[in-house]
């Protein structure tokens, strides 16, 4: 999933880009509103994380211009401004969600994923080796043959395929599947992983000992 990050603070922007990349996003980071508009005109993104206080123009101006073109890109405003007025103004300008910068990464990622799901921008297909996932039909094939998965198994496999080549921790997988508010049984993920391995092959879904799970990466 391609994400446009608009944040002028160098330290915060670098940290957000690194963290969001670990969660499976392909992040393009710009530090000015004009650069954001140029990127939006030139490329397709799945969502945007937008600061309000930018050096060349307000993030609200970026948002207003984006919506004036009819672009319905999901936008999450991430700002230090925490008043109700700022939130209302952002939403009125076309923001889909609003978080203050004190939020933790798990909540940010959960909200981004929710925005993307609601916007129907999670469609398309993912392929890793002989494994193919159709995101619109929610089907999986291996060597052209259908693989029957439960909803949880599909969601886990999707998270792993979207982050192919990276190791996803237990916590990252649980957050992407259940969200931050859901209470998860202690061994639920391991049960789903076990069932997935039986269906797609143990060599496809690998364990990185002491870290997590990966598809398309080498086990350690």
Q: Domains, the chain, ranges and CATH?
A: 2-119 (3.40.50.2300), 125-215 (1.10.10.10)
Which H or E run includes 33? helix 33-42
What is the reported pTM? 0.59
Q: Is the pLDDT of residue 38 over 80?
A: yes
Q: State the Rg of the chain over Cα.
A: 19
Contacts of residue 59, Cβ cutoff 8 Å, sequence gap at least 6: 6, 33, 50, 51, 52, 53, 77, 79
Exposed, middle or buried by CB within 10 Å (0-12, 13-18, 19+), for 153? Answer: buried
Q: Is the pLDDT of residue 184 over 70?
A: no
Q: Is the pLDDT of residue 8 over 90?
A: yes
Mean pLDDT across 86-113: 87
Q: Is the pLDDT of residue 40 over 90?
A: yes
User: Which of 24-38, 66-80, 99-113 is predicted with the least confidence, judged by mean pLDDT?
Assistant: 99-113
Q: Is the pLDDT of residue 125 over 80?
A: no
Which two structure tokens, joined as six digits, stand for 24?
A: 């499976």
* CB distance 74 to 96 below 8 Å: yes
């Amino acid at each position: 999933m391609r994400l446009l990050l608009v944040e002028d603070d160098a330290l915060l922007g670098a940290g957000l880009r690194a963290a969001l990349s670990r969660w499976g996003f392909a992040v393009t980071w710009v530090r000015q509103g004009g650069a954001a508009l140029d990127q939006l005109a030139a490329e397709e993104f799945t969502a945007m994380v937008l600061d309000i206080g930018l050096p060349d123009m307000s993030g609200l101006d970026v948002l207003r211009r984006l919506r004036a073109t009819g672009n319905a890109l999901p936008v999450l405003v991430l700002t230090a401004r925490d008043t109700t007025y700022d939130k209302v103004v952002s939403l009125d300008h076309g923001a889909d969600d609003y978080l203050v910068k004190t939020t933790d990464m798990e909540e940010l990622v959960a909200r981004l994923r929710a925005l993307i799901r609601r916007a129907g921008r999670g469609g398309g297909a993912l392929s890793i080796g002989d494994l193919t996932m159709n995101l619109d039909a929610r089907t999986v094939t291996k060597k052209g043959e259908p693989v029957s998965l439960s909803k949880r198994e599909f969601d886990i496999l999707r998270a792993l395929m979207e982050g192919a080549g990276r190791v996803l921790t237990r916590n990252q997988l649980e957050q992407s599947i259940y969200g931050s508010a859901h209470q998860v049984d202690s061994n639920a993920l391991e049960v789903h992983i076990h069932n997935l391995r039986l269906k797609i092959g143990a060599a496809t879904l690998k364990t990185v000992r002491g870290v997590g799970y990966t598809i398309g990466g080498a086990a350690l």
